[in-house]
Amino acid sequence: MSETLYRQVMREGVDEWMAEEKYARAACAIRSQILSGTWPEQYIDVFFQKFSRSPMDFVDVHCFAQIHYSMKIGKICSARIETGKYPSYDKDIEYNNGVLSSLFEPFYGKFIGGTGGCDGYIGWKKPLIMSQEIQDGRGGTTGLNCTIDPDKLPLEVGYTDSTTTLFHLIEGDGLARWPYGSSEIWLLYLLDREWFRGDLNKVEL
């Protein structure tokens, strides 16, 4: 399968950064942490979920690090919606829409599926309280709540590429993620619209 333009751009950047010893060492360390289970698989699946568990590469490592770091310094807030059911495949449009039609208030959603663009959307009709982490100045983080006005985010269901997740955040307000094998839909919402502008390497690995 050919790479998307997003992945081609990111791969060129990662290839260039990997030539720097500091970046390469850090990228290898993060890759080892992912493989060793430092973060639960269910958490990694929010950022990317490989088709048939194909090998993770350093583009995936890079995109994970950018988003994870941005969440840890309060640039991205998050919320989780419990659906009670796992998503099904693209062809099961009726099933997936049945699950989304049962979302509790104030959430609503629609599944479209297909191979082009996002898989649908998730929205909320009332101001939504999301979780935000802020660095406490002592090497740790403090959990806060932030209120997000009614909005709607593109939905990515099942397998998805790490670059797709990152570019939803770069080009829009965020995304909703419903990985295979998960009954939770994650909402990732970008609080700082200028955060990723013109720079695809916000954290020096």
Instruction: For the chain, give the mean pLDDT.
Output: 91
Condensed to tens digits (0 to 9), the pLDDT of residues 28-46 reads 999 999 999 999 999 999 9
Condensed to tens digits (0 to 9), the pLDDT of residues 182-192 reads 999 999 999 98
pLDDT at 136 > cutoff 70 = no
Confidence of residue 199 (pLDDT cuts 50, 70, 90): low
Q: Which residues pair with 178 in a beta bridge?
A: 157
Residue 63's contacts (CB-CB under 8 Å, 6 or more residues apart) are: 10, 47, 48, 162, 163, 165, 166
Peptide bond into 55 cis (omega under 30): no
Can you give the three-state secondary structure of 101-134, one letter per residue?
A: CCCCCCEEEEECCCCCCCCEEEEECCCEEEEEEE
Q: What is the pLDDT of residue 113?
A: 84
Q: What is the pLDDT of residue 205?
A: 65
Confidence of residue 137 (pLDDT cuts 50, 70, 90): low
What Å distances lie between residue 132 and 64, 141, 142, 148, CA to CA? Answer: 18, 10, 8, 11
pLDDT at 180 > cutoff 70 = yes
pLDDT at 196 > cutoff 90 = no
